[in-house]
Structure 1
Amino acid sequence: MDRTREPSGRDFPALLRAVHARPDGRRAEILGRGIVPVEPRPLRFRPVMKLLRERLLPHVPEGQDVEVAPFLFVFPESGRAFGPDLYVVDEEAFGAPGRHGNGSALSLVAELTSGSTKETDWTDHWTDRAAAYGRVVPVYLVLNMQEGQLTIFRSPSEQGYRARRTVPFGSPVPVPAPFDFTLDTIGFEAGVAD
């Protein structure tokens, strides 16, 4: 049985240790409600993640890379730790000691919502992911795989993202600095749940 614990600044290091010491070996994140197991992604997401990676790669700033490898990134100031589905990160982040990366090394994160994660990725976005990402990560993409649409959050600030835009899959969407290109979302509908 998975029990979640409320994170606080005081016990955040203990929660990180607990995430890595899980006896079942499953991946987990630290959200507002504590340690939450990460469910395996549906296989149909793989082509969408590959397509997104291919479209981002030519626009990635020098010294950064696009990854889908399951690493945990921490946001200690908000007591959160996330393992994004896809992310663009400063390559130097992987030279640091330890088992988790610094969230401030991320320049873009993307999450694909599934039935089990939609509430976490989307409904609670302001209290968890977007609130933490919105202070330091320039671009946050939420691919809503149930509704067939992409929401881009941009313009981070101390209060979170200042702007967002939602488009249906198949429509282009501008991706701001440090990328500065228009993302083609044609093909993303292949991962939409029936």
Structure 2
Amino acid sequence: MGYAILNIWVRNEKCEVVDRRAHLHIYNCQGTQVLPTTWFGGGHTEVKVPPGCYIITAGVIYGNVYTDKTMVVVGCDEKACVNLVLNRFREQEAKKNVPMIARGCGARIIPPLALHALKAEIEPDELQRALDVIMKAAGMDRREMLAGVDSEIKALEQNMQLFEETELKEVKRYLKSLQLLRGQIG
């Protein structure tokens, strides 16, 4: 007996694949996220999950528009195709005076930038000024940013057993960097 495979597609109401980057969210039927949020592109991703019942949605960039939620039930060693419908999809250009990192994207943009800054040994006060500017542009305060980083740390810690052995070293390094970032923000 083993894991199930979910082939997940994001489509518009015309059944066309939406070729955009998106972030995937997989929940159990009690509403608890069971895998860390992951990014994917090209309208498709494949994930490995334990047998069970899941509620799946994805947020697509350009305003963080979310697909409808879809339920899927899979058993051991089964494969399932999941089509997520982005029912409000429309081609749109960036709107003036709307920050690209508004509505939740700041929590996704700041950690990777700050982690790269820490690796590059940028001085803490310089990094702090940059974080302050980005948070101000995103309309976020420190409490909101800390909540985003804490959520990412918690999701990783709770799901370490789901990573492949070959991924664990990198995941642990990322987790340590997030903890350093948390100290920098706090």
Q: Tell me whether the two structures share a fold, i.e. TM-score over 0.5.
A: no
Could you say which structure has the greater relative contact order, defined with CA pairs below 8 angstroms and 6 or more residues apart? 2
Bigger proportion of residues as helix: 2
- Between structure 1 and structure 2, the one with the greater Rg is 2
Instruction: Normalising by structure 1, report the TM-score.
Output: 0.28
